Amino acid sequence: MSKEPAGVDDLEEEDSADEMSADGSEELYERLHLKVDKGQEPLRIDKFLKQRMEGASRSKLQKALEAGLVLVNNKPVSSNYKIKPQDEIILFSDKEAHGEEIIPENMPLNIVYEDEDVMIINKPPGLVVHPASGNYSGTLINGVAWYLRQKNDAISEQTLPRFGLVHRIDKNTSGLMVLAKTETAVRSLARQFFDHTVKRQYMALVWGDLVEEEGTIVAHVGRHKRFRKLFDAYPEGEYGKEAITHYKVLERFGYVTLVQCVLETGRTHQIRVHMQHIGHPLFNDDTYGGDKIVKGTVFSKYRQFVDNCFAICKRQALHAKTIGFVHPTTRQDMLFESELPDDMKKLLEKWRAYTANRLQ
């Protein structure tokens, strides 16, 4: 997670909930990230935060401090900690900052693993993870709420755990997610995401034939300066947050390439933005330019072939294949893998057949 410097005498504050759109990707829920200015007098951190957060109560802030959801200079602090000039403060939210009620809804869930502390869910493409503006129902969390209610009748709509979502993947990205079921689990997993120790491996089909067999993309990711619903890469680090993606070529098809991407950080749309940045947007990514022919001569038969491929995989060809972490209670290493969904399997089969015919 990046440590973005403030101005000389400015209080830096950023609300990451604003970055987490309905189809946001993996990013720990930061409610607040700020750096104390040079002229700040010593003050209890709960009082300091209450002054700067509209609608925040001191009791809720103290609970967040007790839960380890407030870090100062990368370490948890108690409510009687007195802030100092240049302290860097991060407040993690125990729920997303939209405040919508979670309504349980019966829907199929592909639960790969579950115990008292965590759930691993294999999310299908097209499913929004969390209710937000424009998507108040039919989300993964609505389904999880219904599932938990069936297991425990004592859980009410008011007490449904909403702190369990410590990361997300895009609406149109498929694959594995981990959800925390206890406060202990959310603190442990949140810390692991913050420390970049969670193992995350993706498979993506990208446009073009990459020159290198493997490489690393280092470029900050932040909101596009003109189009605020998009994100962009800032390789000089002048804007956005630090983002690092490691990639490796798995299979080449001439005009497109199957790659493995390993995230060192988890920014909104990170893989999609990074691959576009190096000239290889994800296949059929309609947000970042992959929904048109990027490589290959545009003649009628090829264009028809690509259109058929778009029809098979009607979203960006990106799958969260692997997730690994240290179990919050047992401290054992946990690692889970998932197969490619049918649409990406069929897409790859079609490209393999096309490539084989072209080379004959």
Q: Which residues are catalytic?
A: 170
Task: Name the one residue in this structure whose structure tokens are 């998507």.
Answer: 135
3-state secondary structure the chain: CCCCCCCCCCCEEECHHHHCCCCCCCCCCEEEEEECCCCCCCEEHHHHHHHHCCCCCHHHHHHHHHCCCEEECCEECCCCCEECCCCEEEEECCCCCCCCCCCCCCCCCCEEEECCCEEEEEECCCCCCCCECCECCCCHHHHHHHHHHHHCCCCCCCCCCCCCECCCCCCCCEEEEEEECCHHHHHHHHHHHHCCCCEEEEEEEEECCCCCCEEEEECEEEECCCCCCCEEEECCCCCCECCEEEEEEEEECCCEEEEEEEECCCCCCHHHHHHHHCCCCECCCCCCCCCCCCCCCCCHHHHHHHHHHHHHCCCCCEEEEEEEEECCCCCCEEEEECCCCHHHHHHHHHHHHHHHHHHC
CA 336 to chain centre: 17
Q: How far apart are the first and last CA of the chain?
A: 48
Identify the sign of the CA torsion 61, 163, 103, 137: positive
Token reading at 264 = 């060192």
Token digits of residue 303? 């264009």
Structure tokens that stand for 72 in this block:
């100062």
Identify whether the C-beta of residue 184 lies closer than 8 Å to the C-beta of residue 161. no
